[in-house]
Amino acid sequence: MEADFVIVGAGSAGCAMAWRLSGAGASVIVIEYGGSDAGPFIQMPAALSYPMNMKLYDWGFMTEPEPHLGGRRLVCPRGKVIGGSSSINGMVYVRGHARDYDHWAESGADGWAYADVLPYFRRMESWHDSGQGGDPSWRGTDGPLHVTRGPRNNPLHSAFVEAGRQAGYPVTQDYNGRQQEGFGPMEMTVWKGRRWSAANAYLKPALARDNCKVVRGLARRIVIEDGRATGVEIAQGSAIRTIRARREVIVAASAINSPKLLMLSGIGPAAHLAEHGIPVVADRPGVGRNLQDHLEVYYQFASRQPITLFKYWRLFWKGLIGAQWMLTGRGLGASNQFESAGFIRSRAGVDYPDIQYHFLPLAVRYDGKAAAEGHGFQVHTGPMRAQSRGAITLRSADPAEAPSIRFNYMSEEEDWIEFRTCLRLTREIFQQPAMQPFVRNEIQPGEALTTDDELDGFIREHAESAYHPCGTCRMGRADDPLAVVDPDCRVIGVEGLRVADSSIFPRITNGNLNGPSIMVGEKASDHILGLTPLAPANDEPWIHPDWQTAQR
């Protein structure tokens, strides 16, 4: 069992690399612990709350008790299935803001500025013009990843966007184009009514080639001989075997499992490895550090009118929607229902958006277990660039044991200030005339909560992860002691080994991370193959002309 390239993880970045590397003629083995993505719970967009809460498809990670969130342990779903988290996520497609990538480059990820990554976003996309406006010249049209928009038939979608406009914010027809800032349609990785995961977009076409295969197994450690990665040791039941790499080993196992695998292989903070009796191959103190996420709350309202998705909450309607989807690929089952969005700045002096809104015409939890009593709707919202940083560490040297996950949410005072601001700005938006025909009352936080202490208490009790972990194998310059990989995604201090997934993000990007993770896989493929990177783009993104003096 050997190939030119051995990729650990069939997730967003891993699938993209499997397709690109095998397409260049190299032989590829992808190691994946999870099983098949077949079945309606994964493939039907509206069923998204099921797979992320099923042990069959999810690693089932939990955080350590979060000290600044009342000691709560938060769920941290990661895909344990072909397609990885792209097979269990909410299918929301956000590239991130231009300034995010410029910050990457400024912090040592040379060659990863927005001008450098925009051509890769174009290369990977097949963007479909739905007649709702957009920036065609900023988008790709013939890539593997289909990007579409929902029908936005529910009047609440346009009311939400109009409320944003009435509150003084811009309207944007394409937050993935020139102008992210503002309110407008949301995009999703759905095609012909199916979840368009990285598995459907990349891996399945790659597996149609003779030179690409998936091997099922749990990656135990990277085999390193004389300072060079030569393979990956895996467990298949009680059997242990090694998959050998003739050229390189590429780790794409997620922001949780990638640092875990590096540490199990002797790459990480020397003192921490010594605690667990792991021989040190490369002392990289940054492995597992710099853990970031988006924290959010569900801001919920009761509806005056019976027009929300609550009427479809009964088992009878769910069955009917499922049957319609299975027979035709259409109807409510063909959308993730996140069809309107917003990106705003929290204050003057912030040059690009730092608050995101996902609007949903139903008041419900992400796990699908608690719908509001009766008709309601909500926005998922929270700050985009928290100051708090956490860490992934080993519990033991046992590869079968989950790592210790500490996000350390809300550990910085600035994060509390930003979150309070976010809640107050959100309340103001829903007080606009456009929402008055629909808002009966605020379910949560509730109109009575107005002071800093009251809002802090709500955040402490109700904030949830948006499931966007990243940053734990940070990319930077080779002489940066806390960088784990260089700008070519090579692990510093080990030959023949790269990491390419959301763990290499120097800082979290605006919005959902599936798009940027796939982009990393796309761009890393060119680095791995020794190709000249795509020529930088010179498109100029929109920045609010009065950002220094105005919040909107």
81 is in an annotated binding site: yes
- Tell me the mean pLDDT in the region 464-487: 98
pLDDT confidence of residue 370: 67
Q: Using 50, 70 and 90 to split pLDDT, how confident is the model at 131?
A: confident
* Residues 282 and 492: beta-carbon distance below 8 Å: yes
Report the percent of the chain where pLDDT is more than 90: 96
* Residues 263 and 20: beta-carbon distance below 8 Å: no
For residue 364, what are the β-bridge partners?
371
pLDDT confidence of residue 366: 66
Length of the chain: 552
Q: What DSSP designation does 475 have?
A: B
Which pTM does this prediction carry?
0.98
Q: Using 50, 70 and 90 to split pLDDT, how confident is the model at 228?
A: very high
Report the percent of the chain where pLDDT is more than 70: 99
| Count of CB atoms situated within 10 Å of the CB of 518 | 33
User: Considering only CA atoms, which of 89, 508, 77, 75 is closest in space to residue 257?
Assistant: 77
User: Which residues, 6+ apart, have CB-to-CB distance to 549 below 8 Å?
Assistant: 348
d(CA 4, CA 51): 33
**What rounded mean pLDDT belongs to the chain?**
97
Does residue 302 register a pLDDT over 90?
yes
* Residues 160 and 183: beta-carbon distance below 8 Å: yes
Does residue 427 register a pLDDT over 90?
yes
Q: Which CATH architecture has domain 151-185+295-383+411-462?
A: 2-Layer Sandwich (3.30)
pLDDT digits (tens, 9 = 90+) for 163-173: 999 999 999 99
Residue with tokens 């990656």: 219
Instruction: Pinpoint the residues of the chain covered by CATH 3.50.50.60.
Output: 1-148+188-288+470-533
pLDDT confidence of residue 135: 93
Q: Using 50, 70 and 90 to split pLDDT, how confident is the model at 369?
A: low
Instruction: Pinpoint the residues of the chain covered by CATH 3.30.410.40.
Output: 151-185+295-383+411-462
d(CA 432, CA 10): 45
Relative orientation angle of helices 514-529 and 12-23, to the nearest 10 degrees: 30
Q: How many CA atoms lie within 13 A of 299 on its CB side?
A: 25
Among the options 68, 97, 468, 544, which is catalytic? 468
Give the SS3 label for residue 461.
Answer: helix
pLDDT digits (tens, 9 = 90+) for 254-264: 999 999 999 99
pLDDT digits (tens, 9 = 90+) for 53-84: 999 999 999 999 999 999 999 999 999 999 99
Does residue 308 register a pLDDT over 90?
yes
- Tell me the mean pLDDT in the region 121-148: 96
- Tell me the mean pLDDT in the region 90-111: 98
State both tokens at 90.
């909410």
- Tell me the mean pLDDT in the region 296-314: 94
Does residue 372 register a pLDDT over 80?
no
- Tell me the mean pLDDT in the region 425-441: 98
Q: How far is CA 292 from CA 28, 276, 357, in A?
A: 31, 25, 19
CATH number of the domain located at residue range(s) 1-148+188-288+470-533 in this protein = 3.50.50.60
90 is in an annotated binding site: yes
89 is in an annotated binding site: yes
- Tell me the mean pLDDT in the region 113-142: 96
Whether 358 is catalytic is no
